[in-house]
Structure formats: structure tokens, C-alpha cells
Structure 1
């Protein structure tokens, strides 16, 4: 169980980076050019916030120690700089790349669900959903950890769709996703 928790926590600390970096880059670009962004910034910030909520939920399962936190700082430092440079060079590539990363997240959470269903994670099958998760995803009061994993997997599938869509359209084209979608 703890190896899954570590993997989820580490991945979610990095998963919030692309949306924030892309939103910041597009925001600064919009300010420099003194032109509209056509609704991309909001969607990208929503994605970053959603990934942060995945992390905050996972932290209710396991609290990382100092070495793990140092690895997160190092990983984020490398990834943020890599992603900023990459986004400046090719936003389309970055959105496509993130779409594929999100597909891997869907696979990871699907494997997690399979392990719960097969009895390999009995603690998670019986564990109540953390309050933060019940509130954020508006889950039933008796929701279990499995329900949380289902909600997170649905988010990751949506992020996959959004990023592949943004990779396929012109960066000057209107964002097809309205706030909250």
C-alpha cells in the first residue's frame, strides 16, 4: 500500500506543474501582446488546482518524510524548468505530452482500482473517504477510498482529453472548454 501511496504522492506533486506553467506562460504572453487569451488560462489553472487536490487527498493516506520532500523539491525544480522551456518552444508538443502523461495516470488509477477490487488493498476498500475528498468531489457521506480513486481517475481522463484537444487546435483559437468543464 505504501509504495502506491508514494507513487501517487510523487506523481501528483509533479502533475500540478504543467497546468500552472502553461497558464503562467499564456498569461504573460497575453499581457505582452496586449491581446486576449481566448479562455485557455482559466482551464489550465483549473487543471493545476485539481491536481493539487489529488495530492492533498493522497496526503491523508501517508505523510512523506524529509528525504521524500527533498526528492519532490528536486523533481519539481527540474521539471518546472524543463516544462517552461519546452512550452516556450512548442506548446502543442507540451499539451500532447501532458495528454499522454494523463493517460498513464488513468492506467495507474485503474490498476489501483483493480487491486482494491481483487482484495490486495483491503484497507482502502474499507477506508472512509477523507473529508477533503468528500467536500471537493461532492461524494456521499459514506464514500470510501475506492470512490475517491474513481473520482481522481475521471479527472485524469478529463485532463487527457483537454490536453489532447488543446494540442490539436491553434493556440490562437478559442478554448472549447468553459470554466468548470
Structure 2
């Protein structure tokens, strides 16, 4: 896959350039679409509140958060195991730049299935805690639900890309439903018993997706993914991101990569906090409205 960088690389821009003040290289993390959108008039809101500037989208890098705490080590090894299984199932394990467009699409799609199930497990686990302890969730359910919606949209977009011009066959859809159901119950138990591990695990999943999208974008730019290079965004992608006419699939991948970078940051921060404590992302969201 793409070369690994550590989080210390955030302070330096590409090719030794000083990063702009609101770029990923400067440490700025933009909130993903589902976390900031307004349910009353989504299209108008997106057209007026595009926080993903072109400079920010291009600045997002594939970085590796080195595990330092116990819950991070456990989550990392769980992720390595899941990543290996997905690599073997999709035929992308050890492929590097020789991966095909179809195989890359399947790899990304499987990680979106895991991400959707994990976020929904977080919703249910926090809901159960609130009922058992009769306490306020402090926005944890809202954040987990927003993450679940965002990754589910990625799943729908990638399904259309991978199987275009046909719809995904019934067998493929049933497989992904079975994968999500199985993963949901596994991560539900983990989210309830070891919430920090579950959050850190999803952070590493999001980190992997940033690597995947970065590799796909690099292969589009190099001409290896010629079909994806000429592909136009689907109606689902255009409506979710409020894209203008003339955008390409590369524009969609840039936004999905930025979404995953946002989720990686969110889950990494929440993993270090006591469960159901004050959610800093809900406070930030309220201030930005």
C-alpha cells in the first residue's frame, strides 16, 4: 500500500513547503459532511458551507498513529487481523501499486461495511448505557450516528463505482449485509465492555481508508486507474457532497478521504475520554452554527 508516515509529519507540507493555516498539514481537521449538515435543507446548507477547500482536500495525507496506550495496542492488533482478512478476501493483500480498480473498490467497500457496523454498534452501546445509568449521552450518540451515516454513504458510492454500470449483484449485497450484521454484534460487545478499544479500532479503520483513498488517487493521477480517471460522480455522490457539474470521481475520492481523516481524529480523541463525558465535537459543532 502507500508509504507509511507518522503523525509527526503533520507539521511539514509536501515537498518541504510550509502548509497553509487551514490545511491538514498544519494540523487543521475539517468536520465531515454528516457531522455538520443541516437536516432541514441539506442541499442549500452544503452549497453555503463547503468547509472542504481545494487546498485542504489536496493536503490530507496518509498518516499512521503509532499506538502508545494499552487500548491502542489492542485496537491496532485487532485492526491488523481484520486488514489481513480483508486483503485476502479481496485479493489486495501484498499487491501494492499492482492492484486493479475492481479489487481496490472491493477493499474500500469492505472497510466501509466494517465502519458502518462499528459506528452503529457505538450508537446502540451508548444508548444502552444511558438507559441503564439514566444519564445524558452528552452527544456521543449523535456523533456515532453521524459517523455511521457518513460511512454508509461511502459504501453506497463505492458500490456504484465498483459495479458500474450495473447494480451490485444480489449475492454481493447479501454478503455485505451478512458482514455488517456479524461485525455489528462483535463490535457491540466490544463497544459496551471496552469502549476505548472499540473507538481506537475504528480510528485505525479510518486511518486505513485514508491510505486506501490516497493510493487510489495516486493511481488515478499516474494513469494506472484509467477507468476511474474518466468516470463521473454518481448522483448519490453529487447530492451528498453538493458537487458542481464537471467534477470527476477524483473529486469524490478526495472528499471521502477527508471524511475518513475527520473520523480518525474524532475516534482517536473520544477513545482517550471517559465514556459519555463531555463531547468536544458537539460543542465545536454548536459554536460553528
Q: For this structure pair, what is the TM-score category when the shorter chain's length is used for normalisation?
A: over 0.9
Q: Which residue among 97, 100, 110 is the counterpart of 2:214? A: 110
Residue equivalent to 2:63? none
Residue equivalent to 2:157? 57
Q: Which residue among 26, 33, 56 is the counterpart of 2:133? A: 33
Give, in whole Å, the separation in 1 of the partners of 2:174 and 2:276: 38
Q: Give, in angstroms, the shift of residue 78 of structure 1.
A: 2.4
Residue equivalent to 1:158? 262
Q: Which runs of 5+ in 1 are unaligned?
A: none
The answer as to whether partners of 2:121 and 2:185 remain within 8 angstroms in 1 is: no
Deviations 1:96-135 (A, max 9, x none): 1111111111001100001100001112112111121112
The answer as to whether partners of 2:124 and 2:188 remain within 8 angstroms in 1 is: no
Deviations 1:1-51 (A, max 9, x none): 211222222222221011111011111211222210111110100000000
**Count of residue pairs the alignment pairs up:** 181
Q: Which residue among 229, 237, 248 is the counterpart of 1:133? A: 237
- TM-score normalized with structure 2 length: 0.59
Which of structures 1 and 2 has the bigger CA Rg?
2
**Do residues 90 (structure 1) and 190 (structure 2) align?**
no
Give, in whole Å, the separation in 2 of the partners of 1:150 and 1:69: 25
Q: Which residue among 97, 113, 117 is the counterpart of 1:17? A: 117
State which drifts further: 171-180 or 48-57.
Answer: 171-180
Q: Secondary structure at the match of 1:171?
A: coil
Residue equivalent to 2:225? 121
The answer as to whether partners of 2:117 and 2:181 remain within 8 angstroms in 1 is: no
Q: Secondary structure at the match of 2:236?
A: helix
- TM-score normalized with structure 1 length: 0.93
State which drifts further: 143-152 or 53-62.
Answer: 53-62
Q: Report the aligned-residue RMSD.
A: 1.7
The answer as to whether partners of 2:213 and 2:253 remain within 8 angstroms in 1 is: yes
Q: Secondary structure at the match of 2:188?
A: helix
Q: Which runs of 5+ in 2 are unaligned?
A: 1-100
State which drifts further: 123-132 or 86-95.
Answer: 123-132
Q: Secondary structure at the match of 1:59?
A: helix
Residue equivalent to 2:252? 148
Q: Which runs of 4+ in 1 moved over 3 A?
A: none
Q: Which has the higher helix share?
A: 1
Give, in whole Å, the separation in 2 of the partners of 1:112 and 1:26: 35
Deviations 1:67-89 (A, max 9, x none): 43343233223211210111121
